[in-house]
Chains A and B, each alone.
Chain A
């Protein structure tokens, strides 16, 4: 069994395509076309490094990861060039989390401040969770009062893990989170894994229940929560218990092993820089069953699990 990589698309040099074209075209016009064509094609896997000229055509606009010097668009990062119409941007392959409104993130409370919590979401500054954007225990709907402000630590304490949604940006670029849904809130009964944020892609749902009786929350910031399955429908949740610090009592050794196994599968996938979603985690879990749990931290076992999972996904796609 081996990995198959997509070969990078060969770059079409100006000379080679010039040879194939007719001579009846005006030289300037032809050159412009070649450039446009070359730049379009190269963008498939066009890797640039800092200071490299991406284009000297003034028609293009600079996007993220680029800057303009002497009317040329240059890269400021090592990454892949992406082009949307006239906008050129460079996407770094490994970086901190950059959020968008609506993203589901997992974070850790770092500080309790005036009417707000600071949350580490592995972004370039801590996100902010306002007291006004959390639900009160018991689901009471009312304005937050001073008494609520005084018992903020009863809701979230430093070190607590939360799952939340990005609600807005502050003017300095910090994220404002909210947990105004029963899906969001404090995390219990499980284990935490941090992977590179680029490996979790935006999709319909980031809350998954796997067949092995484990729930997974894939935070878009690369923080992942793997926990014991809590059978529930949204209207059966005990709203008083939303901020409880107690794990449920009946987490059996079997459940614990499943959690650890899924967590190790995710680590294995992350180590092989593979995108993480519920399908591939399930396949990796199945592939991991032939290994002992304690062997799953070994490099070669991680590799083989990741490989088998890729193959399984490819087979499924046909």
Chain B
């Protein structure tokens, strides 16, 4: 069986990372002028744009909740984002599923009771796909929500980890993802350590689960530091400009 060697004898992965190493994360907020909040996040070669509109008047009267806001997540993958060019329909089940994951992740964290009868829209656009789209989307959405000034009890940081050949590895890229590795994505509130999302679509031995989860948790904490710095820098810059 000709398989890509995912872990070299020296213990390095296909892209030269060590097993417990994240890819480089760069992020900015307030990239769109029309949206209430927006963020652009690059996680290695995975690139995501998140836009948040709202809280605003709900578009569908029937869905309005009288005591809190409704969250609406739309997920879109650009045709040029993957290795093989492919246009996806809006009702692609895979995309709808991803959108509902993001929605479920944020529902307990966003303080929706502050915005009754309104709607918060989160639009996620994958610009380039290189593994870990769900984690990148959740992280970008967190930043966009904070940029929009929407109340949340904490950050939500997501990270994936998997079992690559003989040891747990953090933040799998597309090659690792697509060669039958078991992969777990978790979304965590870094301050309290609570987990709002665990997603796994493959089999993983239960003995290995704990290692993988704790590694993913460490990754979340690290991602929190990175995106908190971006948010804080932006907030301080604005505060200085507006402090007259």
Contacts and interface: CB of A to CB of B under 8 A. Distances in A.
* A interface residue count range (under 10 / 10 to 19 / 20 to 34 / 35 or more): 35 or more
Nearest to A313: B244
A284 B163 CA distance: 60
Interface stretch (A18-26, A74-82, A134-142): A74-82
Interface string A1-21: 000011010000000000000
A126 B30 CA distance: 24
A213 interface: no
Interface of A: 5-6, 8, 45, 47, 49-52, 65, 67, 69, 74, 76-80, 92-96, 110, 118, 120, 124-126, 172-174, 198, 272-275
15 contacts: A47-B236, A49-B146, A49-B155, A49-B228, A50-B155, A76-B152, A77-B149, A78-B231, A96-B54, A124-B55, A124-B115, A125-B57, A172-B66, A272-B241, A274-B241
B153 A8 contact: no
A161 B186 CA distance: 47
Contacts of B239: 45, 47, 79-80, 93
A79 B235 contact: yes
Contact of A78 (B56, B146, B189): B146
A220 to B, nearest CB: 16
A275 B146 contact: no
Contact of B152 (A50, A273, A274): A50
B190 interface: yes
A45 B240 contact: yes
A76 B55 contact: no
Nearest to A127: B57
A95 B66 contact: no
B116 interface: yes
Contacts of B190: 51
A94 B238 contact: yes
A303 B91 CA distance: 44
A124 B56 contact: yes
